Structure 1
């Protein structure tokens, strides 16, 4: 049965799987033929996804395609075969070194045995059968041999130790590439019919698990840009592709897709929402007998039983796994999904490690401001509000921040649709001096007219001064205390200037375009009242400032 060398040509990666496309050509005579594509992954391929297409002489038909298991004593892949051969060669060297160690130990034992017979030299000297020179030569030889053997033993030990480390490294590499999968593989058998002799090009596609991708970003800002209130930032959109499918992707065209095939194929079923009278639970002793009957109910019946709280909707069906993909420079959108086609061939081994591929590098408009929260830290953070002006969404992912080429840190980018904005923090600016100080702290215990009321008055002043050479848009954030007990009262007696934002939880925000050398001052004062017998928690950190 002829085999087609159908190598992997294209891969579309989703968030939890990949679509593999293989192509190969074979010359066949007219008639019906069965051809094979060998060494497909056994444990990751989704058998029902196998599809075959092809081109050949006019009238060529594909009659059938099926998968069969190939049984191997060892994995047939070239890189795994290479590792197996390297491991065998290293283990052979290990056995040779161990044999040399054994021979050396035998010689050392022989020398020790000769040393134990030294009394025979004394008898030989006394009888005149040996000369003193003979004894001297022997002991000199034995001492030199023992020294040489010690050096050789140490050298063999070091060689063997290094060899064992190499063997362990190769075995770990092999384990990473193949995992715990068996060496068996699948063969796709395709039955075709050609009306005339000619070339037939087979295209075989299938889905595999064990592959995924996720976005990573690099956000780069130049000092010249952040000196202005608006500008551009360079955003590099990368896809981190990971695969452990059992196949090595060599010189393949990669596409990263945001499609979610598992969710697109299944519409969740909406069940009725029932309201019913609450039924008290059956006492344990009386419920012992019906327990066997209840244990035979289906999961859906149990979900509708009286154990569910009244008014609660039934549990929704478990969501299906959702795949997604992302890739390179050319972008293709089809409403429900976006596909990034990488503009060059890539190599991605089946090692489970992330491999970076660049999707697009582009400039995005950005508005800069400086945010500070003096109650927490007396520094100002440069913040960029970036607008996604591209035609495709920016998926949620981690971003590395660079300012003038220097690494600042990492942040998270949320899912951002075209035209939507997202914010990133780009580092600290030491040219803005931020201070917050306690200007007033008085405690009044009350009198006969006021009742037994304890009154605490606090005043704070926040100052921000701009020492930079250009105007800075600053955002100052602070807070006022919020009572969580009806006997605790808070009155704000001064708040100057008024904040541009004030939430129900008394989170305050001021905004100001601060010119060079200009100082911005905020003063606020509040009074906290509570009965003297009521201990208030939360004011202690304020009083200690």
Structure 2
């Protein structure tokens, strides 16, 4: 098949000669998603002196974690220019040696002493020590051999003289004492020298194995980007190439710091300063130095299809006579969001939670350039701060805690939504704990608990009794809850303040069946609650003065019909 005459022949990109010049592709901007990042690189082609035509360039080094199918490029400043092909080339290369820079006055042909590895110097030192130890062993072995031969000759001479009847014990004793002493001394030194030589030999073998292991360094995975560009005739050569791709091993999470600037007291309007921060993690293999960072809650890896719903078969059957006569009732605990799960609670999570963006993708731009090394550690960067007027309420939940908590209510005046995240709580320049901020839309109310008021303490006791009415067969379970709220006196030297209002909350069970009735005993309850909502939360607004104790008694009855079987 021949090529039609109206179609020009384009050169194959693989047949183009690759330039020996490696152009750097630094990271200039990053959009960090929930579990990955979109990286933007800018390659300056000003110094490459590109002529019109097709060119094949090598860009890098880049992170080996580049997602190949997400790689795309664009030529900026070249009308009609295009990027024909982009691909990531990965290869294993030896780890580059770490050498120290020498001064300018030193000779370049003289190796620096600091370039010699510690293991290599140890091998050399151990070899010299072993050589000297072996020479010492040979010298002592020669001395021991000479002394041993001398003792043999002396013993033979003594035996011959004794056989001939020429006995001289004193002279024999003097002739044997000195050689035997020298023989023992040199024999001990020879044993010590042999042990030292054996130890040095073992250390030398170990050092040589370590040297061999260090010389065979593991290969390192590196990556480059090969780009095929087309520069039109008459096109400008001073241009930039912009590359974008996805990279895993990076994520971000929101974090906050709430500071109650003004201590709570009667007649004052507290101010809450909320600092919005973000934690960044990245282990892509290359550092981000002075890059523009944008935070996004988009989830490109999550499928847009709804989950598969299996069939749920519901069948009906007639109840038995026993089931129609008996109604089983279970007492269950239900968390009420209005109670504020952030009051005095600190969530302990074994895994990092996701970003709660309220169901809509959000973008947060960090105002300044950011530097994030590739170390896998958390790096905190500021996003901004706002100061809002706050309302501080003293809340007491005796069933959960004997403390009186400072519940701070404020509005989101930042103009951006507040994503769910942990909050460092600071009051009067003191760290009081860590809480959690739920998703809050702009200009929406929010709540935080900034520790407890140590001037208060609550003591709670519960009494319960159960009886069965003989005629009707009903079961009546009575419960009396007594709460003693105490405010301690002011410390010496402190001015005693007026009364403080504490919102004390207790709960009353709520029945969902007509056979079970919950009755509030107004005669046994003192004082009467200021409010009792549909969820069974009774609230008292108590004004407590210094060195005063207020007692609240709550009594209610749970009445069950004869056919009800109550279990806890």
TM-score, scaled relative to structure 1 = 0.67
Match of 2:311 among 308, 314, 317: 308
Deviation by residue 1:388-426 (Cα, 9 ceiling, x = unmatched): 111111111112222333333222211111112222222
The match for 2:225 is 186
**Alignment RMSD (CA, Å):** 4.9
The match for 1:67 is 86
- Tell me, in whole angstroms, the C-alpha distance in 1 between the residues paired with 2:373 and 2:356: 18
SS at match of 2:426: strand
Q: Label 1:195 to 1:470 Cα distance change in 2 as closer, same or farther (>3 A).
A: farther
Deviation by residue 1:86-107 (Cα, 9 ceiling, x = unmatched): xxx9995446546766776788
Deviation by residue 1:322-359 (Cα, 9 ceiling, x = unmatched): x9899xxxxxxxx963332331x332222322221111
Q: Label 1:16 to 1:489 Cα distance change in 2 as closer, same or farther (>3 A).
A: closer
Q: Label 1:152 to 1:426 Cα distance change in 2 as closer, same or farther (>3 A).
A: farther
Report if aligned partners of 2:70, 2:244 keep a CA contact under 8 Å in 1: no
Shift in Å, 1:269: 7.6
- Tell me, in whole angstroms, the C-alpha distance in 1 between the residues paired with 2:305 and 2:487: 56
- Tell me, in whole angstroms, the C-alpha distance in 2 between the residues paired with 1:154 and 1:249: 47
The match for 2:483 is 462
Larger Rg: 2
The match for 1:502 is 532
Shift in Å, 1:218: 1.7
Alignment of 1:26 with 2:56, yes or no, is: no
Match of 1:387 among 381, 396, 411: 411
The match for 2:364 is 339
Name structure 2 gaps, 5 residues minimum.
1-18, 101-113, 156-177, 315-353, 491-496
Name structure 1 gaps, 5 residues minimum.
271-299, 312-322, 327-334, 539-545
- Tell me, in whole angstroms, the C-alpha distance in 1 between the residues paired with 2:132 and 2:313: 88
Report if aligned partners of 1:46, 1:208 keep a CA contact under 8 Å in 2: no
Which stretch shows the higher mean deviation, 109-118 or 2-11? 109-118
Match of 1:125 among 142, 148, 151: 151
- Tell me, in whole angstroms, the C-alpha distance in 2 between the residues paired with 1:184 and 1:6: 12
The match for 2:166 is none
Report if aligned partners of 1:255, 1:342 keep a CA contact under 8 Å in 2: no
Shift in Å, 1:126: 4.1
- Tell me, in whole angstroms, the C-alpha distance in 1 between the residues paired with 2:198 and 2:428: 59
Deviation by residue 1:64-113 (Cα, 9 ceiling, x = unmatched): 242234353327xxxx746799xxx9995446546766776788789889
Report if aligned partners of 1:442, 1:456 keep a CA contact under 8 Å in 2: yes
Alignment of 1:39 with 2:83, yes or no, is: no
Q: Label 1:47 to 1:529 Cα distance change in 2 as closer, same or farther (>3 A).
A: closer
Q: Label 1:63 to 1:144 Cα distance change in 2 as closer, same or farther (>3 A).
A: same
Report if aligned partners of 1:30, 1:198 keep a CA contact under 8 Å in 2: yes
Match of 2:29 among 10, 26, 34: 10
Report if aligned partners of 1:228, 1:470 keep a CA contact under 8 Å in 2: no
The match for 1:254 is 293
The match for 1:430 is 454
Shift in Å, 1:41: 3.1
Equivalent residue runs for 1:92-103 within 5 Å: 93-94=118-119, 97=122
Match of 1:138 among 161, 186, 189: 186
- Tell me, in whole angstroms, the C-alpha distance in 2 between the residues paired with 1:405 and 1:121: 85
- Tell me, in whole angstroms, the C-alpha distance in 1 between the residues paired with 2:567 and 2:68: 60
SS at match of 1:190: strand
Q: Label 1:501 to 1:194 Cα distance change in 2 as closer, same or farther (>3 A).
A: farther
- Tell me, in whole angstroms, the C-alpha distance in 1 between the residues paired with 2:482 and 2:236: 91
Report if aligned partners of 1:219, 1:402 keep a CA contact under 8 Å in 2: yes
- Tell me, in whole angstroms, the C-alpha distance in 2 between the residues paired with 1:149 and 1:445: 95
The match for 1:240 is 279
Q: Label 1:454 to 1:30 Cα distance change in 2 as closer, same or farther (>3 A).
A: closer
- Tell me, in whole angstroms, the C-alpha distance in 1 between the residues paired with 2:423 and 2:115: 43
Number of equivalent positions: 457
The match for 2:557 is 527
Report if aligned partners of 2:510, 2:535 keep a CA contact under 8 Å in 1: yes
Report if aligned partners of 1:258, 1:324 keep a CA contact under 8 Å in 2: yes
- Tell me, in whole angstroms, the C-alpha distance in 2 between the residues paired with 1:236 and 1:391: 13
The match for 1:475 is 503
Deviation by residue 1:251-297 (Cα, 9 ceiling, x = unmatched): 3232323455567xx86589xxxxxxxxxxxxxxxxxxxxxxxxxxx
- Tell me, in whole angstroms, the C-alpha distance in 1 between the residues paired with 2:299 and 2:479: 56
- Tell me, in whole angstroms, the C-alpha distance in 2 between the residues paired with 1:496 and 1:399: 38
The match for 2:541 is 511
Report if aligned partners of 2:518, 2:556 keep a CA contact under 8 Å in 1: yes
- Tell me, in whole angstroms, the C-alpha distance in 2 between the residues paired with 1:73 and 1:111: 49
The match for 1:217 is 256
Higher strand share: 1
TM-score, scaled relative to structure 2 = 0.65
Q: Label 1:505 to 1:119 Cα distance change in 2 as closer, same or farther (>3 A).
A: farther
- Tell me, in whole angstroms, the C-alpha distance in 2 between the residues paired with 1:534 and 1:336: 50
Report if aligned partners of 1:445, 1:532 keep a CA contact under 8 Å in 2: no
Deviation by residue 1:456-507 (Cα, 9 ceiling, x = unmatched): 5443332334447355342212123456887665432124444344344533
The match for 1:404 is 428
